[in-house]
Chains A and B, each alone.
Chain A
Amino acid sequence: MSAMSRRTLFAHAARFAAGITVFAAAPACAFNPLPALPTRSMPSGEARIAWLRLLPDGRVQLLLPRQEMGQGISIALRQIVAEELDIELDRVEAVLPDTASIAPVKSTVGSDSMKDFTEPVARAAALLREHLQSGSTATELHDKGQPVTLRSLRGGGRHVGQGHPTERIADIVTGASTLYAGDVRLPGILFGLVLPAGVEPRELAAGLRLVDLADGRRGLLSDHPGPLHAVTLDRPTADRTMPEMNIDAAMARGRLEHRLRNDTVSTDTAWTLDRRYAIPFAAHAAMEPRSAVAQWHDGGTRLEVWTGTQDAFFVRETLARQFGLSAEKVLVHSCRIGGGFGARTIVRQELEAALLAQAAGRPVKVQWSRAAEFVDGFHRPPSSHRIRARLDAQGRITDWWHGFCSGHVIFTSAAMPRWMQAVTSFVKDPGVARGALPPYAANRMRVEFSDLRLPVDTGPWRGLGAGPNGFAIESAIDELAQLAGRDPLQFRLANLDPQHGRLRACLEAVRDLSGWNTPVPAGTGRGIACGIYKESSYAAVVAEVRVAEDGNAKVTHLWCAQDSGLVVNPDQLRAQIEGNLLWGLGMVLIEKLPIEGGRVAAYTFADYPIPTMDAMPAIDIALIEPTGAAPSGAGETAMVAVAAITNAIAAATGRRVLTLPYQATSSA
């Protein structure tokens, strides 16, 4: 099949006065990954999860089936389309979806986008190409699973494998466009906030109006945001009981209720290692506080909303249910998200804007404060882990027993009525379980956990359970290597489950990249960790940390080798890894959401500092791309950096970091 030049594509396109539309099919497993949330029917086959439109002037429009939060999915899918059609990248335009333009599609979560959406989009583009070459005159094409030749997924193409900056970068650096929900401006718009239940403003300053909302809450409206942001809210302070997150207490209550591996491990002989690890609450702290704009039409019978959300269809369904509307009477526009990290998976600010706009009879913009982000948002739950392991004389793991307890991640109280919370307590929370099965072989393995309902809302946070579980597992493995007198990298290679050859390749690559076998600089510790994310993405990280005499730790260098399969855009893949590495650094060195009296006690970035530029170490990344491997996720894999850093601290100080964040005086 000959390549189709831009000129010929244009010539083809000109034959179609109204253009051609291709409907992409939903990926095979298009279920809602938040089972706690209302299910939506996911038609397969002809589900119009994305549209590809060839315009008469030869440009191609891609209606994205995904949300953009800086992970680079827009540019990556454009590259796929351009590759299939063999046209210049700038002839492909990506459009964020609104709920009237595409069929319901699952949330943009879980590092699923590349794994699940490159192929449907590639198929749509390839169908268009073959259609044009066939001389057919049809103007509407549907992916019905017919055979089609894909060019973009074999790697090393004209566009696939090339680095490109994120979509809309020119608008980002000039500030000239409406990109985020808060940038949306409408004639006659008001600004509002919904008062938390039982909370009154200290005083009603000039320009503020108190209104009753349809759900029984009350809100404040203003014709300018200034007075609204000056309002001080006296939030409830009555103590609530925070259950102790303690694995020993959980185990003392009986067997942990959820089992991931259930081998019988002998408790008769001594353990080589028996360690407990503790991880605190953590906040998303995205730079964009939640924002939404709502406008009612046709006498309050039709609702239009602009928001940055990881799931526009969930927003639509929630609002439709709340206001007793049919789904088609609610239109949700997707805006670029100023940092997602799992935080934009529930519906809060959209409902608030709609309630306020209903009460005002005018469009309303809601802009959460930073304090609201901390106090009214939801957070990564704390967890407590105990790992017991036994080695044989050859340094192989014979027994592995990891028990842990955590607050909920997926079955979050932030998005569920109380009765549903009670029901889901009998089901394994897959978010808590994520990453809990180690990639190592052991003769006997027991992995079990318990989840606890907490008074502070918890939910998905970058990597879900994989960050905490990876920290516990890779800390234990590192100490086992030390107890066996083995090099930590060699120990991992020797104990890896043989089926994980791709992780082995990452370990070997990061060994070479980091100069693992070279002497460590004086005053510095070097540590390593590795892991597999969702059985499809692999990473190994080496950290060098300088620890001062007072115990103060500075991460000086991070190396990461990552295999996320086929690389569509190496620049954006590296960016995701850089972000993961910095999140790992933050988890180790500073991040702990303060809780007092069973409530979040953080209101500003002074209460919850996040890493600043001076904390950023040198970073080197190697991308591994096995021939024929499908693209997989990248946004959460390298969170294993956490344990690489704590293992480096242990190497430097001789003391293990068992509680996060690291404190100069609290090591084991």
Chain B
Amino acid sequence: MQITVNGRSADIPDERSRDPLLWVLRETLGLTGTKFGCGQGLCGACTVHLDGAAVRSCQISTGDAAGRSIITIEGLAGETLHPVQQAWIAESVPQCGYCQAGQIMSAVALLRETPKPDDAAIDAAMAGNLCRCGTYQRIRKAIHRAAGEAQP
């Protein structure tokens, strides 16, 4: 079985096809930026992009992801950091940092759909990404910043 992660094709043993994509990313491919938070699609820590859409990689089987474009946090930056990653640093968003890869992947998907989201749109799109440290206010500011908007 082959899956395409961050533009590269990878051979995955067939017996992994029923395993959640999350574990194949982390332990078979060593892409540990995508985090395990709950295994039930309720926290968003494992968010990746599947054909451009934000999905919970703990809820997608590896077999179902085959043949589609998978982008993880490691694949976001090009020559420079992605504008959302830059905004996360500029707004000093992370505390413990554990949820932030998932937050960033959701924010990138939001901005692709809605380039200038207001606070309500941000709250709606990001409500499935939990943060226990309390960085939500900074996440909002970082998304506005990445959208090129004046700071509210």
Contacts and interface: CB of A to CB of B under 8 A. Distances in A.
Interface in A360-406: 367, 369-370
B96 A619 contact: no
A135 B90 CA distance: 41
Given A225-B26, A578-B135, A613-B126, 20 more contacts: A166-B97, A172-B101, A173-B81, A173-B94, A174-B33, A175-B73, A178-B32, A182-B32, A185-B27, A185-B32, A229-B20, A286-B98, A287-B45, A287-B99, A336-B96, A339-B96, A576-B95, A578-B134, A612-B130, A613-B123
Interface string A607-650: 00011111110110000000000000000000000000000000
A583 B38 contact: no
Contact of B43 (A170, A175, A224, A605): A605
Given A173-B104, A229-B39, A613-B126, A70 B16 contact: no
A613 B33 contact: no
Interface residues of A, number: 66
A69 interface: yes
B40 A166 contact: no
A163 interface: yes
A172 B100 contact: yes
Contact of B92 (A166, A225, A229, A341): A166
A285 B132 contact: yes
Task: Give chain B's interface secondary structure class.
Answer: loop
Contact of A70 (B35, B101, B133): B133
Contacts of B131: 287, 613
B127 interface: yes
A475 interface: no
Interface string A581-614: 1110000000000000000000011100011111
Contacts of A423: none
A182 B126 contact: no
A340 B96 CA distance: 8
A223 to B, nearest CB: 9
A336 B97 contact: yes
Contacts of A43: none
Interface in A138-197: 163-166, 168-170, 172-176, 178-180, 182-183, 185, 191
Interface in A29-44: none
Contacts of A618: 137
Contacts of B133: 70, 287, 339, 575, 579
B124 interface: yes
Nearest to B84: A173
B7 interface: no
B51 interface: no
Contacts of B127: 612-614
B18 A226 contact: yes
Residue from A164, A207, A582 with most neighbouring chain B CB atoms (10 Å): A582
